[in-house]
Amino acid sequence: MIQGRLFTNQLQARRYPQTALDAVLERLIALDVPGKSHVENYLRHKWRLNHKPRTLSSTFTSLMLFLTFYRGSGKRLEDIGRSDIEAFLEHEQDRGMNISTVRLRLACLSAFLHYLMEQDILPASLLKKTIKLKLPETLPRAINPKDVRKLLVVIDRIRDRALILLLLRTGIRIGEALSLTVHAIDMRDKKVHLHQGEKNSMGRVVYLSHDAYFAVKRWLSVRDRRREAIFYGQGSQALCYSAARSLFLRYIRRAHLDHKGYTVHCLRHTFASELLNAGMRLEVL
């Protein structure tokens, strides 16, 4: 049904000047995201309320980023939970987005979710409590060395230990780790090839520490060799961000560190702090 309406819009656009609404709906056609019809209805709703073209475009961009991210969970839009929203915000932070951008993403997403709640598509309890950004104005703090030891002690799964040590000892982003394939790791030279960075699209090489090397080596010896992705989950080609975030928080709770507000992104800043403490110059880092 949505496909028919969108193509009708395309035909009409040939007869009349294209509006901002036509432009975003045309972009929506080519995308594979959950809840596509709800997005179209919402954009039409905003257009009827005379929202500015710039606002419509910004809303579309934020919703597509979230829904593309959410698609990795394999869930329907109607099954969205607070943890999915929080995971998305952490993902945006992990991509290097500044706090004002993430606040804009949250505002656009919250308005969309409130619209769906008014339409009885989502439960009113979803946003009963305000989602507060945990993004600080400055860089996220590193994990205390004692807490790092407590965390590593409680990680009992081979895959999870390899993933967390890889993040902790190389400083790569969680999104980069989850997209790694078997061809990206050179165990002989103990290095990992990142062919395209998440933030600047530049490739680089990172090196494995002693403990990360043996954790990854152990995981490679038992993982399903038919899978292309290094880290995979049940029923998916690669472990999604939400699942990786959940397993990290589970170990944080098991180590009794959940009151300290640590996130997956803290592993990257722990790596950076350790290098600075070891004498590396800031401009080099």
Question: What is the CATH number for 257?
Answer: 1.10.443.10
Dump pLDDT digits (tens) for 89-140.
888 877 777 778 888 999 999 999 999 999 999 998 888 777 766 544 445 5
Residue 135 lies in a domain: no
> Is residue 229 helix, strand or coil?
strand
Residue 221 lies in a domain: yes
pLDDT at position 95:
77
pLDDT at position 72:
83
66 and 117 assigned to the same domain:
yes
Domain span at residue 73 reads 2-127
Residue 271 lies in a domain: yes
Residue 138 lies in a domain: no
Residue 67 lies in a domain: yes
How far apart, in whole angstroms, are the C-alpha atoms of residue 117 and residue 114? Answer: 5
273 and 151 assigned to the same domain:
yes
Q: How many domains does the chain have?
A: 2
For each successive 10 residues of the chain (285 residues), what is the average pLDDT?
51 57 90 92 93 92 93 88 88 80 90 93 85 55 92 96 96 90 92 71 84 96 91 79 91 94 88 69 55
Residue 268 lies in a domain: yes
Dump pLDDT digits (tens) for 151-167.
999 999 999 999 999 99
109 and 190 assigned to the same domain:
no
pLDDT at position 147:
95
Q: Which residue type occupies 101? A: T
pTM: 0.67
122 and 7 assigned to the same domain:
yes
pLDDT at position 134:
55
Give the DSSP per-residue string, 125-178: GGGSS-------SSPPPPPPHHHHHHHHHH---HHHHHHHHHHHHH---HHHHH
Residue 11 lies in a domain: yes
Residue 134 lies in a domain: no
181 and 257 assigned to the same domain:
yes
243, 231 contact by CB (below 8 A)? no
